[in-house]
Amino acid sequence: DTGVSQNPRHKITKRGQNVTFRCDPISEHNRLYWYRQTLGQGPEFLTYFQNEAQLEKSRLLSDRFSAERPKGSFSTLEIQRTEQGDSAMYLCASSLFGTSLYNEQFFGPGTRLTVL
């Protein structure tokens, strides 16, 4: 296990197209988080899962965004009808919740989305 992986690493799309990103967490990690990072900003929370249940969504996550974690392992983040404002780095993180006082979030390398 080499850590959290994300695919693709880069995605260029035209405005109005749909895109889907995948995140593979560290094995056995039960929590999976999605963050978005735009230029000059720190990562911003989008949503998180505990196993297959999506427990919280940020107001940043418009109706065009949907995330799934169907079997409690990998997760997908889909953006429909992309807009130029969606251009950002999308980060995934995972953690093993419930085994210690604090559960470190391990981050993936991110998927950089450019919407033309």
Partner 1 sequence: AQRVTQPEKLLSVFKGAPVELKCNYSYSGSPELFWYVQYSRQRLQLLLRHISRESIKGFTADLNKGETSFHLKKPFAQEEDSAMYYCALNGRQGGSEKLVFGKGTKLTVNP
Q: Is 56 helix (H, G, I), strand (E, B) or coil?
A: strand
Whole-number Å distance between alpha carbons of 29 and 21: 19
Task: Record the tokens describing residue 5, joined without a space.
Answer: 């992986």
CB of 110 to partner 1, least distance (A): 7
Q: How many residues bind partner 1 (CB under 8 A)?
A: 27
Task: Record the tokens describing residue 63, joined without a space.
Answer: 């109706």
Among 44, 66, 76, 80, interactor with partner 1 by CB under 8 A: 44
Report if residue 72 touches partner 1, rule: CB under 8 A. Answer: no
Q: What x/- string results for residues 1 through 30 when contact with partner 1 is judged by CB under 8 A?
A: --xx--------------------------
